[in-house]
């Protein structure tokens, strides 16, 4: 089999009407898996095209979010371009957009009209607050979603102000969930021959990802505050100082704590009434931190990591992004990839047997406007989805 025929989503046709991060990231995940993606851009273009830095004249962020796609310029207020867009929606398996709610409808493309023209269309809308509800009409960016979801309130230094997570998680997580929802809808369509309408709000996606914080918010009356690098419940679980810097420990059960105590030469910790359970260690985290850092005072970070790792205690150095992307681990795992012109980019984030995604350069603005149609000669092995 050729690489293209091995692509999980080969034959799936995706129409993207997206800008910035959430919708483009979602459709790029599908493109990496072999879907044919046509990116519809306005005459102005996706705003991410202007985000620095640049590689050979093109935004590196735009390249990351839009590889393996084609770009078509359409002004949906123009009757001819609107007809072209309508035809593309009839041919598509999936439509992904992140306009303000009602944006497509105001341009004459309501969900009902789109589904009437293509009853098997999977139509995903990503917005800040969803297609309904009291905040539906409000604009949103990543920091808005982080603030509204409660995520900022538990992020940042202990006893410090709320902080934004260092990446646009309010866009990235909706993009991932959007791709998951699209594939689920395509699988259901295989059985029912019916399309789907997917309403995905950035805030909803972050709320769904609150995990233990969400459970404490719903079932515990205790405070929900930033704890720095510490876990709010388990200890020792956070960053700790050695003689020449900091590293992280992740000790979340009694067996691991026993190993830690042994490596650090403090076996009496196991019977210390302050530390005999994960809950009690969490309640006495600062006392425990002082004792751990006293035991580490004469060890370098490298020595601490070597000894702790040898004993099976989860630990790691604290890397900056450049170190993380170019270090021994990243090289061994192949977390970055190269496009044909030498542009280094990020990979899919997972390995699927021996499948390797294509690494086609993101399109120039309107590069494929002369061919505003899906390719008819694409392999059809996924056309039943």
The SS3 call for residue 57 is: coil
Tell me, what's the pLDDT at 37? 98
Which structure tokens are listed for 380? Answer: 């059809």
Superfamily for domain range 252-313: formyl-coa transferase, domain 3 (3.30.1540.10)
Report pLDDT for 6.
82
pLDDT at 376: 67
Annotated catalytic residue: which of 46, 81, 93, 171? 171
Respond yes or no: is residue 337 known to be catalytic: no
Domain limits, CATH 3.40.50.10540, in the chain: 3-210+328-346
CA distance linking residue 350 with residue 360, whole number of Å? 18
Please report the pLDDT score of residue 94 as a whole number: 98
Q: How many residues does the chain have?
A: 385
The whole-number average pLDDT for the span 265-274 is 97
Query: What is the pLDDT at residue 381?
Result: 44
Instruction: Calculate helix-pair angle for 22-32, 169-192, nearest 10 degrees.
Output: 50
* pLDDT(129) > 70: yes
Structure tokens at 371: 């061919």
Are 311 and 333 in contact, with CB atoms under 8 Å apart?
no
For 94, residues 6+ apart whose C-beta sits below 8 A from its C-beta are 12, 13, 14, 15, 30, 35, 121, 122, 123, 124, 182, 186
Q: Where in the chain is the domain with CATH 3.30.1540.10?
A: 252-313
Residue 99, SS3?
Answer: coil
Task: Report which DSSP code applies to 352.
Answer: B
Mean pLDDT of the chain: 95
Q: Give phi and psi for 38, each to the nearest 5.
A: -105, 120
Contacting residues for 2 by C-beta, under 8 A, at least 6 apart: none
Collapse the DSSP code of 49 into the 3-class scheme (helix H, G, I; strand E, B; otherwise coil) and give the result. helix
Q: Which CATH architecture has domain 3-210+328-346?
A: 3-Layer(aba) Sandwich (3.40)
CA 323, distance to chain mean position in Å, is: 20
Q: Which two tokens stand for residue 259?
A: 């190993």
Structure tokens at 222: 């205790």
CB atoms within 10 A of CB 277: 13
Interval 185-205 mean pLDDT: 98
pTM of the model: 0.93
**Alpha carbon separation from 285 to 238, 268, 274, 329, 332 (Å, rounded):** 10, 17, 9, 31, 36
């Amino acid at each position: 089999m050729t690489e293209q025929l091995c692509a999980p989503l080969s034959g799936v046709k995706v129409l993207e009407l997206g800008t910035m991060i959430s919708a483009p990231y979602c459709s790029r995940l599908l493109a990496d898996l072999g879907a044919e993606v046509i990116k519809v851009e306005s005459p102005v273009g996706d705003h991410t095209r202007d985000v620095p830095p640049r590689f050979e004249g093109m935004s590196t962020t735009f390249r990351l979010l839009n590889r393996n796609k084609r770009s078509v310029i359409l002004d949906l207020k123009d009757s001819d371009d609107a007809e072209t867009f309508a035809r593309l929606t009839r041919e598509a398996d999936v439509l992904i957009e992140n306009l303000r709610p009602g944006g497509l409808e105001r341009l004459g493309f309501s969900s009902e009209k789109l589904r009437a023209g293509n009853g098997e269309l999977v139509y995903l809308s990503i917005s800040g607050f969803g297609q309904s509800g009291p905040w539906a009409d409000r604009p949103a960016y990543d920091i808005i979603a982080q603030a509204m979801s409660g995520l900022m309130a538990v992020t940042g230094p202990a006893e410090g102000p709320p902080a934004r997570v260092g990446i646009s998680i309010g866009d990235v997580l909706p993009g991932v969930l959007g791709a998951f929802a699209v594939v689920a809808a395509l699988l259901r369509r295989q059985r029912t021959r019916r399309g789907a309408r997917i309403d995905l709000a950035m805030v909803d996606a972050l709320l769904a990802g609150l995990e233990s914080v969400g459970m404490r918010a719903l079932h515990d009356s205790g405070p929900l505050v930033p704890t720095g690098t510490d876990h709010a419940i388990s200890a020792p679980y956070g960053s700790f100082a050695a003689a020449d810097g900091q590293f992280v420990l992740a000790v979340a059960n009694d067996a691991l704590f026993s190993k830690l105590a042994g490596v650090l030469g403090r076996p009496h910790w196991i019977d210390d009434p302050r530390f005999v359970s994960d809950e009690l260690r969490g309640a006495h985290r600062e006392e425990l931190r002082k004792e751990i850092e006293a035991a580490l005072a004469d060890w370098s970070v490298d020595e601490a990591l070597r000894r702790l790792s040898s004993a099976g205690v989860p630990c790691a150095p604290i890397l900056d992004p450049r170190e993380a992307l170019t270090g021994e681990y990243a090289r061994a795992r192949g977390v970055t990839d190269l496009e044909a012109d030498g542009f280094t980019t990020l990979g899919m984030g997972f390995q699927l047997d021996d499948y390797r995604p294509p690494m086609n350069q993101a399109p120039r603005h309107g590069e494929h406007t002369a061919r505003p149609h899906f390719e008819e000669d694409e392999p059809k092995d996924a056309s039943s989805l």
